[in-house]
Amino acid sequence: MTYATTFGSPIGRLTLLSDGEALTGLYMEDHRHGPAWNPEWAREAGLPAFSCASAQLAAYFAGELQEFDLPLQADGSEFQTAVWNELRRIPYGETTSYGELARRVGSPGSSRAVGLANGRNPISIVVPCHRVIGASGKLTGYGGGLERKAALLDFERDVRMFGPHPLEVRSEPAR
């Protein structure tokens, strides 16, 4: 059975999925590889996995939490799992390139494959795929959109430099 709930965040509504024991998904609105809402999912906001995830997400967005400690269960290939595990080793407020990540998983030269695995990460933010950038230092692809990626990276950098403060996303007026 798949359980689902939503969490209101400064970067928009997040959809959280669980198998009843662990967090299995965390997707942003209009997430490129995110699942469509399924009416067969059981809505269980009080599920322990969701209560814990919601509390930690609130602390993260307040600038008070830099490392998540949640039971996770992400389904993917052996290579994807290796990439997702390595993502969790990127320190808060820091970035790495796709090429460096490929080297770290023992597959130098496979930066495109790492990018594809990164893009299929089912547990955004908690498994910090937003911390991976292009070799040139430019922001590249993000399932939640480059604006959100930039906001998360800027927020983490600011928290490391200036201490805890809530994430505030400023949107510019439509032109």
Q: Is 52 considered catalytic here?
A: no
- From 83, 129, 132, 133, active-site residue: 129
Residue 145 has pLDDT above 90, yes or no: no
Please give the structure tokens belonging to residue 122: 């089912």
Scanning the structure block, which residue is given the tokens 């998540």? 68
pLDDT, tens only, 13-61: 999 999 999 999 999 998 888 888 888 899 887 899 999 999 999 999 9
Residue 4 has pLDDT above 70, yes or no: yes
Percent of the chain with pLDDT over 90: 77
Task: Write b or e for each residue in 71-89: b if 16 or more Cβ atoms lie within 10 A of its Cβ, otherwise e.
Answer: ebebeeeebbebbbebbee
pTM: 0.91
Residue 127 has pLDDT above 60, yes or no: yes
* Rounded Cα–Cα distance for residues 34 and 9 (Å): 17
Q: Which domains does the chain have, with CATH numbers?
A: 3-61 (3.30.160), 78-162 (1.10.10.10)
Beta-bridge partners for 111: none
Average of per-residue pLDDT across 94-109: 95
